[in-house]
Amino acid sequence: EFRRFSLERSKPGKFEEFYGLLQHVHKIPNVDVLVGYTDIHGDLLPINNDDNYHKAVSTANPLLRIFIQRKEDADYSAFGTDTMTRKKNVLSNVLRADNHKKKPHIVISMPQDFRPVSSIIDVDILPETHRRVRLYKYGTDKPLGFYIRDGSSVRVTPHGLEKVPGIFISRLVPGGLAQSTGLLAVNDEVLEVNGIEVSGKSLDQVTDMMIANSRNLIITVRPANQRNNVVRNSRTSGSSGQSTESSAPGSAANLLGGLLHGEEESDDEDIIIEGGGEPQHIPRAAPSSDSIESLSHIELLHEPAHNGFLLSGDMSSGHSAGSASTECDLPEAGRKSLEEDGTVITL
């Protein structure tokens, strides 16, 4: 729902008055809302006191785009810096499972409101020609929507160039998850499935592995189109640079392993129906003396479905173009609002 109204730039007044005005304009007098605006860089910044209110008004050029959002639905992580600039090289963002634990003092989002759909991960540890894509099937109704086939690719070996069998993406289903992310394309060569190399495995084996991992599928591909590859050093300008630097290169594989392990504990919570009762998720048994138990239990402390967001390059830019014409974004659309946390952006 959009409203357009005018303010006098020289006399902006107090934040409280502005807040009241907004409630009045939207006819939501008793609803607590969060107010934000887009600055000249396109970043979404909060308005919650006189200072930033004045700053906002002063930057209006001449239009000030203001987003309001019902407080209980609000995503605090939406407010950050550098959003738009980072968005351009969002491909360099690295999802880290430990991101929230590391920076708990920065309230950057209310992730439970959002559902990740896909992400690019481990950019720092992969060769630039490879891309590791994570598809979150859990909770979405969209089909994964792709097909794989056998094929052959050329490898450099000690005996020169050699043709070796490989697995390739053969088709994307229109409207499917794989297509909508824009991260996978026909003729991309599949190199790994959830950290396991596919070389030497048959098409049926790889199919089974992918389906078995379908709720949290991480596939490493060599894109057929190598022009959109990440330029490695540009990442350091991103805010997530710090978090990646904290992980020593040697532990990279381990991180993926940990990631997988942590995820897998919750990716398929079985359901139990006790004698005619309501279906419930099966809880984990209390950690026993068994070493696997205690270790994996720690991984469980955070729900992976809630710890990060995704973005696919073209989708997010499409949406931001759409939101550019809006001045206010109403609570109902909260889920669709352009938000971000420290590492990734959500649609």
Give the interface with another protein as residue ranges (CB under 8 A): 137, 143-152, 165, 170-171, 193-194, 196, 201-215, 253-254, 257-258, 260-262, 264, 267-276, 279, 282-285, 288, 290-293, 295-296, 299
Tell me whether residue 206 or residue 338 sits nearer to another protein (CB atom). 206
User: What does the chain come to in residues?
Assistant: 347
Beta carbon of residue 273, minimum distance to another protein (angstroms, whole number):
4
Query: What is the C-alpha to C-alpha distance for residues 176 and 146, in angstroms, rounded to an integer?
Result: 8
- Shortest reach from residue 281's CB to another protein, in Å: 9
Q: Give me 336's structure tokens.
A: 């669709």
Q: Indicate the SS3 state at residue 255.
A: helix
Which CB sits closer to another protein, 46 or 304?
Answer: 304
Cα separation, 202 vs 170, whole angstroms: 15
How many CB atoms lie under 10 A from the CB of residue 211? 11
In angstroms, give the least distance from the CB of 114 to another protein. Answer: 20
The CA distance from 308 to 119, in Å, is 9
What's the min distance (Å) between Cβ of 134 and another protein?
14
Supply the minimum distance, in Å, between the C-beta of residue 60 and another protein: 48
Distance from C-alpha of 262 to C-alpha of 68, rounded to nearest angstrom = 36
Peptide bond into 62 cis (omega under 30): yes
Query: Is residue 83 within 8 Å of residue 240, measured between CB atoms?
Result: no
For another protein, the closer of residues 8 and 274 by Cβ is 274
CB closer to another protein out of 297 and 335:
297
Q: Is 97 exposed, middle or buried (0-12, 13-18, 19+ CB in 10 A)?
A: buried
Q: Least separation, in Å, of the C-beta of 215 and another protein?
A: 7
Min CB(244)–another protein separation in Å: 19
Which residues is 187 bridged to in the sheet? Answer: none
CA 328 – CA 2 distance, rounded (Å): 5
For another protein, give the closer residue by CB, 57 or 221. 221
Of 48 and 214, CB closest to another protein = 214
Neighbouring C-beta atoms of residue 333, cutoff 10 Å: 15
Nearer CB in complex with another protein: 128/293:
293
